[in-house]
């Protein structure tokens, strides 16, 4: 396992980090299975575990808490807030009211008195940067969080938050957690240059592109991944973007085979090769999944391999642009880009 400094924090984290989204009902993972995954991950040298309040509506946090009991100080613990936690309209977002309340809920579920990294799961357009950063700064000063970060923010929102922190003499985001894989490279255009400019650590989620790069999705085979069952539209080959992904996967498989690598090694090696990326978040549902991903812990891709990948999926390209999670609201809502008469 390799380690890198998390942004400008001085904290050393493993280049592969354990994402716990699949713990519980989402991944149909039991507590015993989750504990076994955590045990194996820590033994392999992973020292960063990332979860969120909305994963299973708190279930993932509870399972992580039980799995790390007695060894909390041996790892960097991260969680997130902002996504809806039930139907109550104020049980979501990044207002001071909600963040203060929900952090206490997360600490209770995790069974700890602080988290190392508290992340805003998505940019909340209804709340000012000053409001959010002020609340996070106070929680940091209270000792309940060590650092805080953003997740899936558009590049211009990262910049705006950095300036808001500076202008209001508040602590600033030290990390960004974007979606990044060989098939979704759009963040190379704007987000990663911004994180490098401001010295943010980057925790890349979905490095296997929801299973497209796991080796389980190939031409002529039935797609049976768990994600295909949950979101079948993302694997429907009648949709042009999905066919484009499959075409790329077939070409990438040949590159991996020629290099003596698995698709997982190629995919994770690509993400961790980018100088802006600190860690790639893996989200195994089973021990078998974990071990196949741990095989990429020391994978270093040569310049020739990276060039071959660039030939298949050009830098800065998203093969499935409709699945962008950091798109500005005006791209999703036509009324926001049309002046009313």
Q: How far apart are CA 308 and CA 302, in angstroms?
A: 10
C-alpha separations of 266 from 17, 46, 216 in Å: 17, 19, 14
**Mean pLDDT for the chain overall:** 94
pLDDT in tens, 66-124: 999 999 999 999 999 999 999 999 999 999 999 999 999 999 999 999 999 999 999 99
Q: What is the pLDDT of residue 196?
A: 97
Residue whose tokens read 């902002």: 82
Q: Which of 55, 118, 147, 198 is catalytic?
A: 55
Q: How far apart are CA 37 and CA 45, in angstroms?
A: 12
DSSP code string of 12-57: EEESEEEE-TTBBTTTTB-HHHHHHHHHHHHHTT--EEE--TTGGG
Q: What is the pLDDT of residue 333?
A: 80
Q: What is the pLDDT of residue 191?
A: 97
Identify the CA nearest to 78 among candidates 90, 68, 93.
68
Average confidence (pLDDT) over 229-253: 89
Average confidence (pLDDT) over 297-324: 94
- Using CB atoms within 10 Å of the CB of residue 327, give its burial: 0 to 12 exposed, 13 to 18 middle, 19+ buried: middle
Identify the CA nearest to 318 among candidates 136, 225, 185, 143.
185
Q: What is the pLDDT of residue 224?
A: 72
173 assigned to active site: no
- Residue 216 sits at the vertex; the CA angle it makes with 233 and 308, to the nearest 5 degrees, is 95
pTM of the model: 0.93
- Reading the block at residue 228, the tokens are 């295909």
Q: How far apart are CA 237 and CA 244, in angstroms?
A: 9
- The answer to whether residues 200 and 165 touch, using CB atoms and an 8 Å cutoff, is no
- Reading the block at residue 280, the tokens are 């790639």
- Reading the block at residue 293, the tokens are 């991903």
Q: How far apart are CA 79 and CA 278, in angstroms?
A: 17
Contacts of 296 (CB under 8 A, 6+ apart): 16, 262, 264, 265, 267, 268, 269
pLDDT in tens, 196-213: 999 999 999 999 999 999
Q: What is the pLDDT of residue 219?
A: 84
Average confidence (pLDDT) over 265-289: 97
User: Phi first, then psi: what are they for 187, rounded to 5°?
Assistant: -70, -15
Q: Residue 22 pLDDT > 70, yes or no?
A: yes
- The answer to whether residues 44 and 1 touch, using CB atoms and an 8 Å cutoff, is yes
Q: What is the pLDDT of residue 36?
A: 97
**pLDDT above 70: percentage of residues in the chain:** 100
Q: What is the pLDDT of residue 341?
A: 63
């Amino acid at each position: 396992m390799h380690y890198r400094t998390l942004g400008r924090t001085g904290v050393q984290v493993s280049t592969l980090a354990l994402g716990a989204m699949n713990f519980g009902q989402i991944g149909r993972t039991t507590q015993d299975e989750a504990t076994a995954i955590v045990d194996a991950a820590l033994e392999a040298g992973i020292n960063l575990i990332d979860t969120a309040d909305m994963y299973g509506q708190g279930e993932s946090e509870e399972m992580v808490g039980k799995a790390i009991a007695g060894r909390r100080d041996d790892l960097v613990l991260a969680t997130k807030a902002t996504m809806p936690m039930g139907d109550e309209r104020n049980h979501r977002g990044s207002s001071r009211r909600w963040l203060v309340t929900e952090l206490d809920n997360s600490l209770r579920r995790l069974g700890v008195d602080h988290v190392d990294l508290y992340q805003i799961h998505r940019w909340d357009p209804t709340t000012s940067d000053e409001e959010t950063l002020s609340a996070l700064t106070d929680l940091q000063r209270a000792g309940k969080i060590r650092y805080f970060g953003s997740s899936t923010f558009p590049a211009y929102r990262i910049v705006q938050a950095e300036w808001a922190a500076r202008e209001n003499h508040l602590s600033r985001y030290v990390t960004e957690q974007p979606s990044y894989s060989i098939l979704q490279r759009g963040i190379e255009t704007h987000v990663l240059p911004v994180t490098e400019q401001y010295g943010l650590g980057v925790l890349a989620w979905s490095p296997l592109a929801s299973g497209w790069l796991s080796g389980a999705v190939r031409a002529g085979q039935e797609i049976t991944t768990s994600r295909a069952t949950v979101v079948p539209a993302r694997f429907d080959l009648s949709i042009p973007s999905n066919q484009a992904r499959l075409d790329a996967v077939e070409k990438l498989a040949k590159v991996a085979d020629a290099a003596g690598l698995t698709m997982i090694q190629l995919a994770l090696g690509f993400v961790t090769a980018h100088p802006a990326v600190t860690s790639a978040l893996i989200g195994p549902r089973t021990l078998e999944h974990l071990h196949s991903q741990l095989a990429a812990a020391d994978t270093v891709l040569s310049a020739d391999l990276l060039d071959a990948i660039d030939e298949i999926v050009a830098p800065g390209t998203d093969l499935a642009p409709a699945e962008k999670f950091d798109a500005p609201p005006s791209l999703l809502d036509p009324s926001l880009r049309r002046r009313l008469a």
